[in-house]
Amino acid sequence: MQKKVYIDLDGVIADFDRGRREHPMANITPYKGRPDKLPGLFKDLEPIEGAIEGVNKLLDAIHFDVYFLSTAPWDNPEAWTHKRLWIDKYFETKKIKKRLILCHHKQLLIGDFLIDDREFNGASEFTGEWLEFGSERFPDWSAVLNYLNA
């Protein structure tokens, strides 16, 4: 039986922090302190080290059913499209087609694992197991893959 795995985008696969720091409008009002509203931010984020390879291993594994689960800022509707285009840029379309879920309440989804870097938007209340990416236990993609494949 396949295990259902949800993977957050920002901070887990896409380097949101770097994108926020390097964005030319990051310190301009009304974006200062609200990086999720930065125009075009989500379109060109760099991948986190090991993320593309790690996700591809999960996508290729027959015992995992993988979905991307991300929250898109309500006040930045272009981000919704940019997240979709971002995964298409880094992953084969046949592997990821119709596997992106944008949701502000991650606890409502049913699955075995959620890989997410933040407890917000329902991640900490997820009914399966929340793997806190970037934590001491799951600092990188190698640790996540070792755990899931154990």
Residue 37 · residue 31 · CB < 8 Å: yes
CB 65 within 8 A of CB 54: no
Residue type at 52 in one-letter notation: I
- Any catalytic annotation for residue 8? yes
Domain that holds residue 8: 3-148
Gap between the Cα atoms of 26 and 24, Å rounded? 6
CATH at 11? 3.40.50.1000
pLDDT tier at 53, thresholds 50, 70, 90: very high
Give the pLDDT mean for 135-140. Answer: 98
Mean pLDDT for 127-144 is: 98
Q: Would you call 75 a catalytic residue per the annotation? A: no
Task: Please report the pLDDT score of residue 10 as a whole number.
Answer: 97
Query: What is the domain count for the chain?
Result: 1
Rounded to the nearest 10 degrees, what angle do helices 51-60 and 141-148 cross at? 20
User: What's the whole-number mean pLDDT along residues 134-142?
Assistant: 98
Helix or strand holding residue 88 (H, E)? helix 78-90
CB neighbourhood size of 87 (10 A): 21
Distance CA 50, CA 55 (A): 9
Task: Tell me what the mean pLDDT of segment 93-116 comes to.
Answer: 97
